[in-house]
Amino acid sequence: MEQILAQLPQQVINGLTLGSIYALLALGYSMVYGILRMLNFAHGDVFMVGSLIGWGVLQLFVRGETTLARSGLALVSMVCGAVIVTSALGGTIERFAYRPLQKGSRLTTLISALGTSIILQNVAMLLTQGRAKAYQTELVISSDWAISALGATISATRLIIICVSIALMLAMDYAVTHTMLGKAMRATSQDREAAEYMGIRTQRVISVAFIIGSGLAGIAGVMIGLYYTQVDFMIGFSAGMKAFTAAVLGGIGNIRGAMAGGLVLGLAESLGVLFLAPVYKDVIVFSVLIAVLILRPQGILGKPVDEKV
């Protein structure tokens, strides 16, 4: 018991860090589902591409002056590089893999998403020769910058991850609730046909949703690289599964729900480890999902779907 209490603060920090990354990824899932009612299973792999791009940019700094890397310039360029590439990738995937199939059944786009995921994974495997790529986190953010409180070590990396994610989530929330684009998104998600009649270019709204979601996945990719300190071509699958779970947990299609779902999931994963062996952390995650779905099928913040007459 004493040991469990001693671990508690650290595991909460671990959970918040991981949870905020899941939340960022879940946003992309939820946004696309809210508008198109489709599951974008390639989202996890876009995230993986983002993490590898971040690694590539970091290597440019590693070869040059290391003081330059420490100044924060490296972090900014890694994030920018990843966001540019993943946004472009997201837009391209939407244009060529999903848009031609929009008229077909929902299952068709789902299969197309799975195919895209496999392609991205294999291309990344060939380009990296299947090897793990080490993130030199210590060059970007010194491992000496850390706060110790209540027996928990909060490194600067974790703090940055949590702060950046929360800032991005607040920004997203504001954008969806207060801007014209957000209004257009909400309108499109409620009734695409009616939104079209009101003069909203719904196709463009869909593209923008994909681009923003993929950009967020890119940022999450760089953050996971800094947190895990190494990335490889396989990380997209499990992260994608977790983010999808988070989105369902929070109420799929609901932006705030996705954020809440991500944080709950991250905390469940690391707090569950207090009582069970760490090997079971995925079991804990999916048990939480099942429990929530039994008690609240619409998710934590989701609204029950009214029976349409």
Partner 1 sequence: MKRQFQLRFRRTRNLVKFLSMVTLILCIGTGFAYSKELPPVKIGAAGPFTGDLSKIGLDALNAIQMAVEEANAEGGIKGRKIEVAIGDDMGDPSKGVLVAEKFAMDKNVLGVVGPMNSATVSAALPAYDRAGLVIISQSATNPDLSERGYRVMHRICPRDDAQGPAAARFIAEEVKAKNVYIIDDKGTYGQGLADQVAAALGPLGVKVTRGQITLEDRDFSPILTRVKATQPDLIYLGLSNPAQAAGLMKQAIGLGLSARFMGGDCMKEKDQLVAGAGGAAEGMYVTAIGKDIAEVPAAREFIKKFEGKYGAMSVFSGQSYEATKILIEALRVAAGDDPAGLTKAKALDAVHSIRDYKGIMGFPIGFDEKGDVLGASIYVYQVENGDFREVKEYPAEV
Q: Does 279 help bind partner 1 (rule: CB under 8 A)?
A: yes
Nearest Cα to Cα of residue 242 among 18, 88, 66: 18
Residues in region 17-36 near partner 1 by CB under 8 A: 17-18
Residue 207 vs 230, nearer CB to partner 1? 230
Residue 257 vs 266, nearer CB to partner 1? 266
Cα distance between residue 189 and residue 202, in whole Å:
9
> In this structure, is the dihedral angle defined by the CA atoms of residues 266, 272, 277 and 281, taken in order, positive or negative?
negative
Residue 14 vs 245, nearer CB to partner 1? 14
Q: Does 281 help bind partner 1 (rule: CB under 8 A)?
A: yes
Residue span binding partner 1 (CB under 8 A) among the ranges 63-71, 98-106, 141-149, 185-193: 141-149
Residues in region 178-207 near partner 1 by CB under 8 A: none
Q: Does 60 help bind partner 1 (rule: CB under 8 A)?
A: no
Residue span binding partner 1 (CB under 8 A) among the ranges 28-36, 177-185, 211-219, 224-232: 224-232
Closest approach, Cβ 3 to partner 1, in A, equals: 5
Q: Does 130 help bind partner 1 (rule: CB under 8 A)?
A: yes
Out of 77, 102, 108, 136, which residue is the one contacting partner 1 (CB under 8 A)? Answer: 136
Distance (Å) of CA 195 to CA 63, 103, 188, 298: 51, 17, 6, 25
Q: Does 94 help bind partner 1 (rule: CB under 8 A)?
A: no
Out of 95, 238, 287, 293, which residue is the one contacting partner 1 (CB under 8 A)? Answer: 238
CB atoms within 10 A of CB 19: 28
Residues near 133 by beta carbon (within 8 Å), at least 6 away in sequence:
52, 55, 230, 231, 232
Residue 38 vs 161, nearer CB to partner 1? 161
Cα distance between residue 27 and residue 187, in whole Å:
18
Total residues in contact with partner 1, by rule CB under 8 A: 40
Which amino acid is present at 30?
A: S
Out of 117, 221, 270, 285, which residue is the one contacting partner 1 (CB under 8 A)? Answer: 270
Q: Does 254 help bind partner 1 (rule: CB under 8 A)?
A: no
Q: Does 6 help bind partner 1 (rule: CB under 8 A)?
A: yes
Q: Does 232 help bind partner 1 (rule: CB under 8 A)?
A: yes
Closest approach, Cβ 8 to partner 1, in A, equals: 9
Q: Does 11 help bind partner 1 (rule: CB under 8 A)?
A: yes
Q: Does 131 help bind partner 1 (rule: CB under 8 A)?
A: yes
Residue numbers of the site for partner 1 (CB under 8 A)? Answer: 3, 6-7, 10-11, 14, 17-18, 129-132, 134, 136-138, 143, 146, 148, 153, 155, 157-158, 224, 227-232, 234-235, 238, 269-270, 273, 277-279, 281
